[in-house]
Structure 1
Amino acid sequence: MRPRAFDLIAFDWDGTLFDSTAIIVRCIQRAVVDVGGAMPTDQAAAYVIGMSLAEALAHAAPDVDPALYPRLGARYRHHYAAHQNDLSLFAGVLPLLHELRARHHWLAVATGKSRRGLDEALHTAELHGVFDGSRTADETAGKPHPRMLLELMEEFGVAPERTLMIGDTTHDLQMARNAGCASVGVGWGAHEIDEFHALGAVQVVHSVRELHDWLLANA
């Protein structure tokens, strides 16, 4: 059997594994309007996906008084909670994760979500025991700071050259680059793929099937 190229594979969550981009955009837009700000464009709202919530909302609502940020965050969580049961993994993701586990890769999540938000998303029977570790933006530094990946690499004793980050935003790929890790960009999430290769992505894929085939051949 061909030896593994990567011992640790870290995934972004929203827009990479979880089909949530469109709903997050709408929730950001509604939250900003709720506190009196100008509604961000779809592009502006999608750009901040992957950042920590506080940073994302501040970036998406530059005309909102910082004193209103706590209420802005609360309104976002209100809108998101109303739709979180509408969300699901992208088709093909779960079989892919199981195949990677069968090959004895460590699997992790590195996300801009809060710990509470990620735990709620992972609290399903189908995802029980799938991931070996995770980091969220509220318990470490947000993307593109490399701390999430550095902590995961330390936890599993894996070197940067044996770690792969997979994500749908430039924040994900810049984080990987900052941590000295390889990255794969996925083209079905929040950001356009034009900048992915410039940020060091070793591959850009356009479907879960393509990601599956690439990982099984190269990871």
Structure 2
Amino acid sequence: MRPRQFDLIAFDWDGTLFDSTAVIVRCIQAAVKDVGGAMPSQQAASYVIGMGLMQALAHAAPDVPPEKYPLLGERYRHHYGQSQNAISLFDGVLPMLAALKARHHWLTVATGKSRRGLDEALQAVELQGVFDGSRTADETAGKPSPLMLHELMREFGVDPERTLMVGDTTHDLQMARNAGCACVGVSYGAHEPEAFHALQPLHVAHSVSELRDWLSAHA
């Protein structure tokens, strides 16, 4: 068997493993409208995916005053809660993760979701036990701060050069660069892949099957 290049693989969640981008965009737009803000465009709402929730909402709704942020977050969670049961993993994610587990990679999640949101998602898609660790935006610094990856690397005793970050946004890839790690982008999530090239990903995958093939050959 080919030796591993990376011991630790960190995946973003929304838009990378979980087919949730369109729902998140609609929920951001609805929440901003609920509190009287100007509804952000699809592009503006997509851009903030991957950030911590309140950082993302504030960025997407610059005309909403800070005193309305708690209500803005509440309205987002309301809309997302009504929609999350309609969201599922991208086709091919489970076999890809199983193949990586068989090669004894540490598999982790580094996400802008809350701890509660991630745990609910993991339970909903029956992924308990697949991931060895995770970090969420409400328990450490949000992306593109490298702290999530620093904490995961420290937890598993893995050096940056043996760590790979996989994500669908420039926030994910910038976090990896800030942490001194390699990264791979996926083009089927929130951000347009043209923005990835300045961040020097090892590869940009255009489907889960292509991502699995690249990881099988190079990770």
TM-score if structure 2 supplies the norm length? 0.99
Give the aligned residue type for 1:66: P
CA distance in 2, matches of 1:29, 1:11: 26
Aligned to 1:188: 188
Residues 1:74 and 2:74 aligned together: yes
**Would the aligned equivalents of 2:176 and 2:182 in 1 still touch at CA under 8 Å?**
yes
Aligned to 2:59: 59
- Structure 1 residue 197: Cα displacement: 2.1
1:93-112 matched pairs, under 5 angstroms:
93-112=93-112
Structure 1 stretch displaced more, 164-173 or 116-125:
116-125
Name structure 1 gaps, 5 residues minimum: none
- Structure 1 residue 123: Cα displacement: 1.1
Secondary structure at 1:109 match in 2: strand
Aligned to 2:200: 200
**Count of equivalent residues:** 219
Secondary structure at 1:165 match in 2: strand
**Would the aligned equivalents of 2:188 and 2:206 in 1 still touch at CA under 8 Å?**
yes
Aligned to 1:24: 24
**Would the aligned equivalents of 1:197 and 1:203 in 2 still touch at CA under 8 Å?**
no
Secondary structure at 1:184 match in 2: strand
1:8-47 matched pairs, under 5 angstroms:
8-47=8-47
CA distance in 2, matches of 1:197, 1:38: 31
Residues 1:86 and 2:86 aligned together: yes
- Structure 1 residue 125: Cα displacement: 6.6
- Structure 1 residue 213: Cα displacement: 0.4
**Would the aligned equivalents of 2:89 and 2:125 in 1 still touch at CA under 8 Å?**
no
Secondary structure at 1:55 match in 2: helix
Over 6 Å off, 4+ runs: none
Q: Deviations over 1:88-118 (max 9, x none)?
A: 0000000000110010000000000000000
Structure 1 stretch displaced more, 2-11 or 197-206:
197-206
Aligned to 2:168: 168
Name structure 2 gaps, 5 residues minimum: none
**Would the aligned equivalents of 1:97 and 1:130 in 2 still touch at CA under 8 Å?**
yes
Residues 1:132 and 2:132 aligned together: yes
CA distance in 2, matches of 1:108, 1:68: 34
Secondary structure at 1:116 match in 2: helix
Give the aligned residue type for 2:194: D
Give the aligned residue type for 1:19: D
**Would the aligned equivalents of 1:173 and 1:185 in 2 still touch at CA under 8 Å?**
yes
CA distance in 2, matches of 1:101, 1:207: 20
CA distance in 1, matches of 2:132, 2:52: 22
**Would the aligned equivalents of 2:176 and 2:183 in 1 still touch at CA under 8 Å?**
yes
Aligned to 1:120: 120
Q: Deviations over 1:35-92 (max 9, x none)?
A: 0000000000000000000100000000001100000000000000000100000000
CA distance in 2, matches of 1:61, 1:156: 38
